[in-house]
Amino acid sequence: MSWHPLPFNPETLDEGDCKGFELAGAPYFLVKKFGQLYAYHNRCPHQQINLEWKADTFLDVDKSLIQCASHGALFTIKDGRCVAGPCTGQQLQALTLRKQDQQWQACVESG
């Protein structure tokens, strides 16, 4: 595990915005909601593919749940738990964030 700087400043996101990005060669995305930042590995537990149907679009129309574009699985923003769809009960893999020396970083598997 090692800390990597985020390739953008997540503080520039507005409430309900999302952003996809890569770290150490793997895809992730970040959601700003409830005044907080949540980040997950961009892999649906159903078929291990990316969630979004177009760039930086990860939420349902209400912006209340994360939605997989392929078969409509819905995940809570706060903990990434699937609450509806073909992988109900499974979980998105969370990415741990921290801010250090004015820079946002994420902890990812190295190698």
C-beta closer to ligand FES: residue 44 or 95: 44
Q: What burial class does residue 16 get, using C-beta atoms within 10 Å of its C-beta: 0-12 exposed, 13-18 middle, 19+ buried?
A: middle
Judged by CB under 6 A, which of 85, 92, 106, 108 binds ligand FES?
A: 85
- Please identify, among the stretches 4-12, 21-29, 42-50, 90-98, the one whose residues bind ligand FES according to the rule CB under 6 A: 42-50
Amino acid identity for residue 34 in this structure: F
- 11 φ, ψ (degrees, to nearest 5): -70, -15
Computed from CA positions of residues 28, 111, 46, 88, in that sequence, does the dihedral angle turn out positive or negative? negative
Residues in the interface with ligand FES (CB under 6 A) total: 10
Q: Binding residues for ligand FES, per CB under 6 A?
A: 44, 46-47, 49, 68, 70-71, 73, 85-86
